[in-house]
Each structure stands twice: as C-alpha cells, then as structure tokens.
C-alpha cells in the first residue's frame, strides 16, 4: 500500500505547478461562518445592550511601598468581598499581570437577550505603567473561560501605574466637563492614571449607559480621544448556556440538509492519501476535483432578522463541528477618531494599510480573517486568512499621533474596517468565536513609544546569530550529500557569499523527523562538519505531524506517554493526514509536551545532528490535508480537555518555542549557541522565538510586488525577522525576475532563496554569467551591511522598534507617506525602493525633505526640495537592471565590512568602514553593536560593546565613545585589534580639508572628490572598541 501510494504521488507531483489559484471551496468566508454571519453588520445588536452598574464599581488601591505579600493579601481580601470568592486566582486562574484598578458589573439591558434571561458580565480595568491600560470582560456565575496569559504575555515586564484616581460622576466635574457635555456628566465616570512626575498621564473616560470607553492623553484633552470602544454599540458577549429544547429542535431542522454533504464526491473510489490542497488522492491515480464555489451560501439577512443557524453545531463541506458548548462569541467596535490610517492584522496578502470592508468605500466584501491556515497557492489582494495571526491594529494620525490596540484573543476572529471618508476616523469591528474581551490600549504617542509599550506586553526579538542574517540557500529538495557538496563547492568556486544550506522533507527516512535517509545522507554529521569548516551552517525541516508508525521511536514514545492531541471525545489520539500519511499531532499547549519535544534535539537523540544544525518549522498552522480548511477540527481536545478552537492560533508559536528551547537545551557545557528556528505560523509574541517567512509565494512579478507590503505588515506587528522567499516558491523565474528579487531580498531582514521541487533549479550560476555577477553583487551588498543589520536588530531587542520600518515610523508627521508601501526604511538610516516590475530603467522615490539623502552607490546627495518640513520630493531616479534604489539618510553613520568573504563567520575579525552621511548642519551620528555573534554571552554575561560615532564637520571632528559590557571589560584590550576601523567615508563635505590628525598615527591620509563631495580617510588606525577623536582642519 505504501509503495502504491508513493507511485500515485509521483504521478501527481506536477499538479501544483500547473497554475496558481486557491481552491476557495476549501476555505470559509464570513457568510459561511455562523458566529461572524450572526454578528456582522449589527444583525444581532438588538440582543446586546450593555449598562455599567455604577453601584457595582470598586476602586482598588495598592500601597506603593508595600511588599509583594502585602499586595497579594490586599488584593485577595478585596476580591473576596467584591467577587464573592477566595481571590483573583479563584475568580480567573488564567489572568496574569497587574491586578485591576476598577471592577464592576455590566448588565445586558436588551428587552430580548440571546439566552432569554438576565445576562451579567464582569468588567475590569487595569491601569498600567507607561500609559497602558487593559480592559477585560468575562462571564459571571460559571468557571472562567480559558485564556493564555501565561503562554503569550510577558507578565513580569508589566507593572501597575504609579498613581490612579477614580473620578465619579458627582465628583471632579471640572475634569469630566472638559470632555463631556454638561448634561451628560452624570452618565460618565473616569480613571486618571500615570507614572511618577505625571509622565504618561492618561484619562480613561467611561460612559455608563450604553457602555463605552474613551482613552485620552491628559496633555491634550481638548484634542479628543485617541481610541474608543463600544461607541458604535457593536459589543456582544454570548454567555454560555445549556442546550435547551428549542435550540435542539432548530438544529434538527438544519442538520439533514447539511449532513447530505458528508458523502464523499466519489464514494466508490479508494482514497489513498491527500495533497496539500486538501483534495483526495485515489488508488487509481486520479485525484478529487475542485468544487465550484457557490456565490451565496446564505441569504443576506435584514437588520431585524436573527440568524440561529450554526449555534449548536455546524458543518462545512464534509466536516462537522459538534460545538458542545454552543455559541460563545464575543466582539466589540474599536474606533480611532480623527485617524484615516490604520495598519496591522497580519497575515494577509494585501496592502500595508487596512482597507475598508464595509460601507460605500469598501475595497473588500469580506472582513479580514484571522485564523492560521495552510492556504495552498494563495491569491493576492485578499482578506483571506493565511499562516499567522497577530490581533494588533495601529493607528497613525497627524492629529492623534501613534496608538494601538492589542485584542488578546487567540480564537478565530474576523475584523471589519469601516470609514465614511471624512475626518471622523476609522472604526474596526472585532468578532471572535470564543474567549473573552481582553484589550490592551497602547497610547503612544510616537511610534517609538507605542512599540515600547507593545514590547512590555509581548516581548522583543533577541539578537539573532550573525550567520542567520546572511544568505540562505534552500530547495525542496537537495537530493543527497553529493548534491549538497556540489552546490556548496560552486558557491565557493564563484566567491558567492552564503551562510546556510537547507534540507527539506526528503532528507528524512520516510518523513520521520529527527531521522536521515541513510541511502541519500549516510554521513550527516560529517557533512555538517565539512560545511562548518568553511563557515557554513545547515538547516533541516522538522514539522509537527508525527508519522503513525510503531517502529518510529518518536511516535512510539509520544504514544506511550500520552502526548498527542485527542479526538472530540478526549479519548483517542487524533489521526490526520500530512506529508508522512497518517499522522498524530503533539499537544504543544502542554508544558510537559514542550519539554519532551525539546529533549528530542539532544545530540544523543537526534542522531547525526551537530551544533551547526538548525531548524525549519513548517506546516505548523497546523496543516492537516484531510481536515476542515486543511487543518484540525475545532472540537478536538488538548490534554487538558480544552477544545482546539480555543488554542488553534497558538499552535505555531508554541511549536517554534519548543523547538528553540530544544536547540538551547542541546548545548553542551562547552557550547553556548543561540538558536535559529524559522516558522511559517505565528501569533503575537513570535518575535521572541525566531524568524518567519511569508510562505508559499510564486515566481511572479505580482508576488515580488506584494512582498514589501506583507513584510511591512509583519513589522507593524513587531515581527522583525521576516522575509519572502527569493525567486518565489512555485513556478519558474527568469533572469530578470531573479535579479530583482535577489536585490530586494538583500534588503529584507530574512534573506533566503527557495523553490518547489517542480521548479527548475535556480542556483545563482544557472542564469548565465552576466546574471550571476548581478546576483552576487546583490548578495555582497547584503554582507557588507551585516554590522549595520546586527546593530539594528540589537536596537529592536532593546526598544521594540521594528527592523524593517514603514515610512510613517520614521516620519510620523508626514501624512503623504503614511500609506506608502513600495519603499521603506531599514532602521532609521537606509531608505529602500525595490524594483518590482519588468523592463524598469527608472523608479519614482519619495524623499522627505526634512532630511538629506545620499545614493549609496554614487554617494552623491539627492537634490530634493519642497516647502515645509512635512514636504516630500517625488524624484525619478535611475534603476536599470544593475541598480536598486537605496539611500542613506543624512545625519547617520553606517558601519560596513568591505572585504569579500564567503560567509559571515569568515568576516568576523574584518575591519570596518564607516559611512558618514552629513545632514544639513554637517552633523551625523550612529552606533555599532558588537559581541561574539553566536552565543548568549551578550545577555547572560554582559559580553558586548557598543560604539557611538559622532561627526561634526563645522567643528572639524569625528569621535567615538564606547560602552563596554562588564563581561568584556577584562578582555577588551585583546579584542581591539579585531574591531579596527580601516576607512571613514564622509558624504556631503563642502570643501577639502588641509590636514586630518588623530588615532595612533598622527596625520591621517585622505582623499577628497570635489564632484561628489566625498571625503575618504584611509587607515586612521583606530578601533571601534576604544574612544578616539579625529580632528579635521
């Protein structure tokens, strides 16, 4: 049977290359999803009208200097009196972070409720340091719904506000009257909170009936709120209730029609497998045909109709969801007054700016869907869900600055975006299948402030090992060790830099992960060691599906220990289909399972692995070829008995987390190697665990064009270490497209070339010598900038700011740049405009004239002019096949390494060249971060240093100030010779100096080009690890 299936698969391998088009019959829309259909466009609004009970409000005060024990005791006492039980843990064992500042009860005052009974909800507000505020709404009278603070939030970094004041309707009417009409003051209360010295002072205004909240900055109350919730009366919370007779009858009436679909299209044919698109493979070598997509699955409801279809059970195609707990959806409207630009909600193959999904100006007809899925051959300009999910929306406005909302709910979610086209702002409507209403408001007001606040909640990206910032060469699949050595040798022969060679699923023994095909890869450790001796690493793929084979030790042990996800009854191990065929899936929500998985990376268990082997986590949405929407059924259970619908979107991040822990845990006493793990699926906080790529793109110009918006959207969500596969995964690329993609990829954080097994081989030398030279030049530009990339990643870890930045992150007051998605910044210094269309010889670049700009190739200043600091000069520049437009911002200093090497490791001790771009005042500054580039020493032992370069040509000086970490202080003198500056290039110098002195050699040789206005200092004999000053006379 196995050999027959293999033969069938071989016959079908060419299928995916025949054309790019998603099978829409496999994926639900809002109209095919009961909870979204039920609550979209106010269809259920008459069932949900909320009033905050003023008499139930309690203000919780913490003593500033009390011990942790005193704080816990006080909160427990208050909780017992207010909530009627033993404490916060008893009330909601899942919540972490600062305790609430205000608590109360929300009453549903609708004449008719969804349960037909009185509905009451718990409401709490948690005022936090740095202006953050959290609002949670939960059920009363029953066990808390499962939430995942422990797995996602960095609770240790979250602190309460240092002071808070509850303003009742009858008190401090002066404050309330500033923001509320006098006749409405009695219907409002407020919470003032902030940090010491009134920093980050905020005002949370609360409307009692109907319930709504508004967040103001105290420094500018008259400007109005920066974000509001519930103003459009779209809040709903489906409380749990027993399935009554009427509901059962309704489902019985619906069920026969739905269950007719459960019959297979060809029941007489034997199914021997499934392909990644979810279609069946039959024993006769044929495959299931795609079904025609029905235009309208459900009739459009009027505003007065209620949709009860799918409340208690639901079907999609042949798959049935038992929904044992019935309807549990939650949602609310979140508005950004006076803002016309909102961003975020990755991952979608759509524009950077979120476009309207409702209203006359709607660009899309369906909401943005957030549900991690393996969407085979995804299409562009769509709101369809893709591989990852970050429920963060960021608003950027000249009037209100930068602010964000983090909707902390990992269940399937739809988000509508609405705008009336006026200055009244943007409104988003969030509808989640389950969970609770748990929102964090991030007040900004600058991009840097907001990303610092978001980092408090979900953490920052650690500095990756330097090799991972180099070029990665991948293919499905390099066939055997001989193929690996031939590819590696050709890179060596051509002096083409690369750092990592990847192996896809075919390197394993029959798709059994942690194994090697002994015929194809008989000496894996030796292979890794040979490549490592020349500065290279390797990556192997390890997916979450485990082949159900009792002779496979991983499966046998996981089964015996009971580590797998269960069926809907919680009894049998779930059986799904993926690359190995019949597969089981580990429960990564369980800490013991994650620990067990990490242990599998030990050298004694992962035979043939070494410290230079790293990991690629694919298919971790998770992908299940024969499951609903090519994933798991929602009513499956984890080991705690919790349904998959509650944690589906966390599976990818937890899988990557456990894999990274495995790489750390495998370290021997003499090893201290940082992990590198690439993932396809992600959630908020994935920045802490490694890199992400945009999945199975295509070798088409449109996919190159969409790469920048998709990567920028990921960075908006603080996911910095991201990339799109160079060349496109599906299909074949020609020399021009490959050249443009390599040029673009060199300026994206994660830089990998990859291809499908049906695609032609596309190693750089296969496009001819002329193209190879262009591709190598693009890669060399990347390698020269590795010190700069490394420094920007260090900044991201320290501050939370993204690495690949939208133009508005650098220029938050230049509104004409807010929606720009075809150019971007790397850090604050480089402006990049990839060429994404064929036959291009010129490009249009937008230059903010508040700064001076220099072409990185010619080093000449760009002549840009305009009126006012918010002006933008739109300039046509040269961009023929040898040129990608890249510009250095005036006022910056960028470190490079210019000696051609074949890998990042071989560049480790090479000297630096500093590129100084003077601003209009002839001043520039910049940093260089240094450590050993591979270990945890920088964080654990303070083994690092940071150089701060400053140039002031008016005063004739260039200097360096150094901060050396405590771990490097004893050895810094021995390191100085390996961190030398061999050249300083200064752009924008108005005239040639007479003398230049400094460093150890006294007079410094220099050259000045009066045409380009570039001054070059040669061999200044200074180290980046010591302070120095050079005088220009």
Q: Which residues are catalytic?
A: 618, 621, 696
CB neighbour class for 295 (10 Å; exposed up to 12, middle 13-18, buried from 19):
exposed
DSSP 8-class letter at 198: G
- How far apart, in Å, are the Cα atoms of 595 and each of 548, 589, 647, 658, 896? 21, 11, 18, 7, 41
Cis upstream peptide for 477 (omega within 30°): yes
Place of tokens 């007479």: 994
Residues 6 or more apart in contact with residue 753 via CB below 8 angstroms: 471, 472, 473, 474, 725, 726, 727, 742, 745, 762
Give the closest residue to 476 by CA, choosing from 696, 722, 744: 696
Strands (E), 371-412: 388-389, 392-397, 401-407
Structural contact between residues 544 and 588, judged by C-beta atoms closer than 8 angstroms: yes
How far is Cα 993 from Cα 388, in angstroms, rounded to an integer?
Answer: 55
Give the torsion through C-alpha atoms of 861, 863, 869, 874, to 10 deg: -120
DSSP 8-class letter at 78: H
Scanning 746-865, the segments in alpha helix (DSSP H) are 769-784, 786-799, 807-810
Give the torsion through C-alpha atoms of 861, 863, 865, 871, to 10 deg: -60
181 C-beta neighbours (distance < 10 Å), count: 10
- Taken in order 341, 345, 347, 350, is the CA torsion positive or negative? negative
How far is Cα 319 from Cα 340, in angstroms, rounded to an integer?
Answer: 41
Structural contact between residues 783 and 901, judged by C-beta atoms closer than 8 angstroms: yes
Structural contact between residues 548 and 582, judged by C-beta atoms closer than 8 angstroms: yes
DSSP 8-class letter at 253: H
Buried residues in 10-20 as b, exposed as e (16+ CB within 10 A): eebeeebbeeb
How far is Cα 816 from Cα 40, in angstroms, rounded to an integer?
Answer: 32
CB neighbour class for 888 (10 Å; exposed up to 12, middle 13-18, buried from 19):
buried
Q: Phi then psi for 333, rounded to 5 degrees?
A: -90, 140
Give the closest residue to 217 by CA, choosing from 209, 228, 226, 208: 226
How far is Cα 257 from Cα 43, in angstroms, rounded to an integer?
Answer: 24
Place of tokens 């004041």: 165
Structural contact between residues 641 and 557, judged by C-beta atoms closer than 8 angstroms: no
Place of tokens 């690495």: 803
Interior CA angle at 602 toward 596 and 603, to 5°?
Answer: 155
Q: Which two tokens stand for residue 193?
A: 């909170």
Q: Which two tokens stand for residue 650?
A: 């966390």
CB neighbour class for 508 (10 Å; exposed up to 12, middle 13-18, buried from 19):
buried
Structural contact between residues 640 and 589, judged by C-beta atoms closer than 8 angstroms: yes
Structural contact between residues 478 and 489, judged by C-beta atoms closer than 8 angstroms: no
How far is Cα 409 from Cα 430, in angstroms, rounded to an integer?
Answer: 10
Q: Which two tokens stand for residue 84?
A: 């009627």
End-to-end CA distance of the chain: 83
Strand order through the sheet with 581-585: 545-547, 581-585, 576-578
């Amino acid at each position: 049977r196995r050999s027959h299936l293999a033969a069938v698969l071989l016959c079908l391998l060419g299928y995916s290359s025949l054309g790019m088009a998603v099978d829409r019959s496999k994926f639900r829309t809002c109209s095919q999803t009961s909870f979204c259909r039920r609550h979209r466009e106010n269809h259920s609004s008459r069932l949900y009208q909320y009033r905050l009970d003023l008499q139930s409000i309690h203000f919780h005060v913490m003593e500033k200097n009390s011990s942790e024990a005193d704080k816990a005791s006080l909160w427990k006492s208050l909780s017992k009196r207010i909530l009627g039980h033993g404490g916060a843990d008893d009330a909601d064992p899942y919540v972490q972070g600062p305790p609430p500042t205000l608590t109360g009860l929300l009453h549903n005052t609708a004449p008719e409720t969804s349960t037909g009974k009185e509905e009451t909800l718990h409401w709490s507000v948690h005022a936090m340091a740095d202006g953050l505020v959290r609002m949670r709404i939960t059920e009363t009278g029953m066990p808390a719904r499962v939430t995942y603070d422990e797995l996602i939030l960095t609770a240790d970094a979250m602190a309460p506000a240092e002071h808070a004041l509850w303003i009742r309707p009858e008190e401090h009417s002066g404050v309330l009257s500033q923001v509320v009409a006098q006749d409405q003051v009695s219907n409002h209360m407020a919470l003032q909170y902030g940090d010491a010295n009134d920093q980050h002072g905020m005002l949370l205004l609360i409307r009692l009936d109907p319930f709504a909240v508004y967040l103001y900055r105290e420094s500018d109350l008259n400007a109005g709120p920066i974000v509001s919730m519930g103003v459009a009366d779209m809040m709903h919370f489906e409380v749990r209730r027993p399935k009554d007779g009427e509901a059962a009858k309704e489902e019985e009436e619906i069920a026969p029609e739905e269950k007719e679909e459960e019959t297979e299209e060809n029941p007489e044919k034997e199914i021997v497998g499934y392909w990644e698109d979810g279609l069946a493979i039959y024993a006769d070598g044929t495959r299931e045909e795609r079904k025609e997509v029905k235009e309208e699955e459900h009739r459009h409801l009027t505003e007065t109709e209620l949709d009860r279809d799918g409340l208690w059970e639901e079907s999609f195609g042949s798959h049935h969801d038992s929904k044992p707990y019935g309807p549990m959806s939650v949602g609310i409207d979140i508005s950004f007054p006076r803002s016309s630009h909102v961003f975020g909600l990755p991952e979608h193959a759509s524009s950077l700016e979120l476009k309207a999904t409702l209203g006359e100006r709607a660009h899309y007809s369906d909401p943005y869907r957030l549900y991690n899925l393996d969407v085979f051959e995804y299409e562009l300009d769509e709101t369809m869900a893709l591989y990852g999910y970050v429920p963060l929306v960021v608003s950027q406005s000249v009037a209100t600055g930068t602010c964000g909302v983090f909707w902390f709910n990992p269940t399937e979610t739809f988000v509508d975006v609405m705008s009336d086209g006026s200055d009244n702002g943007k409104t988003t409507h969030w509808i989640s299948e389950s969970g609770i209403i748990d929102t964090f408001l991030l007040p900004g007001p600058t991009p840097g402030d907001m990303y610092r606040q978001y980092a408090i909640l979900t953490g920052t990206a650690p500095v990756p090992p330097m090799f991972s910032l180099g070029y990665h060469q991948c293919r499905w699949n390099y066939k055997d060790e001989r193929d690996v050595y031939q590819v590696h040798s050709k890179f060596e022969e051509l002096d083409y830099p690369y750092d990592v060679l990847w192996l896809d699923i075919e390197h394993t023994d029959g798709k059994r992960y942690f194994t090697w095909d002994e015929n194809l890869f008989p000496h894996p450790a030796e292979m890794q060691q040979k490549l490592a001796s020349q500065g290279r690493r390797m990556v192997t793929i390890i997916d979450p599906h485990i082949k159900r084979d009792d002779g496979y030790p991983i499966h046998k042990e996981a089964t015996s220990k009971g580590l797998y996800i269960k069926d809907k009854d919680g009894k049998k191990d779930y059986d799904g289909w993926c690359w190995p065929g019949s597969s089981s899936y580990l429960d990564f929500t369980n800490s013991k399972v994650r620990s067990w998985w990490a242990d599998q990376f030990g050298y004694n268990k992962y035979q043939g692995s070494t410290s230079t082997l790293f990991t690629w986590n694919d298919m971790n949405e998770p992908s299940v070829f024969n499951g609903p929407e090519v994933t798991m059924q929602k009513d499956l259970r984890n080991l705690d008995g919790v349904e998959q619908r509650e944690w589906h979107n966390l599976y990818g991040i937890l899988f990557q987390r456990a894999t990274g822990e495995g790489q750390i845990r495998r370290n021997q006493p003499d090893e201290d190697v940082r992990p590198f793990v690439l993932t396809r699926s992600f959630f908020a906080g994935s920045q802490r665990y490694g890199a992400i790529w945009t999945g199975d793109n295509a070798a088409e110009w449109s996919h190159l064009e969409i790469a920048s918006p998709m990567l920028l959207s990921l960075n908006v969500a603080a996911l910095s270490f991201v990339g799109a596969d160079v060349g496109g995964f599906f299909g074949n690329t020609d020399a021009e497209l490959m050249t443009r993609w390599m040029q673009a990829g060199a300026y994206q954080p994660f830089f990998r070339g990859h291809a499908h097994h049906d695609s032609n081989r596309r190693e750089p030398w296969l496009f001819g010598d002329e193209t190879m030279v262009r591709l190598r030049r693009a890669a060399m530009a990347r390698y020269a900038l590795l010190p700069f990339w490394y420094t920007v990643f260090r900044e991201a870890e320290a501050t939370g700011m993204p690495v690949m930045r939208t133009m508005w992150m650098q220029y938050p007051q230049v509104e004409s740049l807010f929606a720009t998605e075809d150019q971007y910044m790397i850090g604050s210094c480089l402006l990049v405009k990839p060429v994404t269309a064929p036959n291009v010889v010129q490009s249009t670049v937008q230059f903010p004239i508040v700064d001076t700009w220099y072409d990185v190739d010619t080093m000449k200043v760009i002549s840009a002019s305009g009126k006012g600091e918010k002006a933008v000069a739109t300039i046509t520049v040269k961009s023929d096949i040898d040129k990608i437009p890249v510009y250095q911002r005036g006022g910056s200093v960028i470190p490079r390494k210019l000696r051609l090497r074949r890998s990042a490791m071989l560049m480790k001790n090479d000297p630096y060249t500093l590129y100084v771009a003077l601003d209009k005042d002839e001043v520039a500054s910049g940093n260089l971060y240094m450590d050993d580039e591979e270990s945890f020493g920088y964080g654990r032992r303070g083994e690092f240093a940071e150089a701060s370069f400053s140039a002031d040509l008016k005063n004739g000086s260039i200097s360096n100030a150094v901060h050396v970490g405590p771990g490097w202080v004893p050895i810094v003198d021995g390191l100085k010779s390996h961190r030398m500056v061999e050249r300083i290039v200064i752009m924008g110098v108005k005239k040639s100096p007479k003398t230049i002195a400094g460093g150890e050699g006294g007079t410094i040789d220099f050259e000045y080009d009066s045409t380009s206005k570039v001054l070059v200092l040669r061999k200044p004999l200074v180290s980046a690890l010591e302070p120095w000053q050079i005088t220009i006379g």
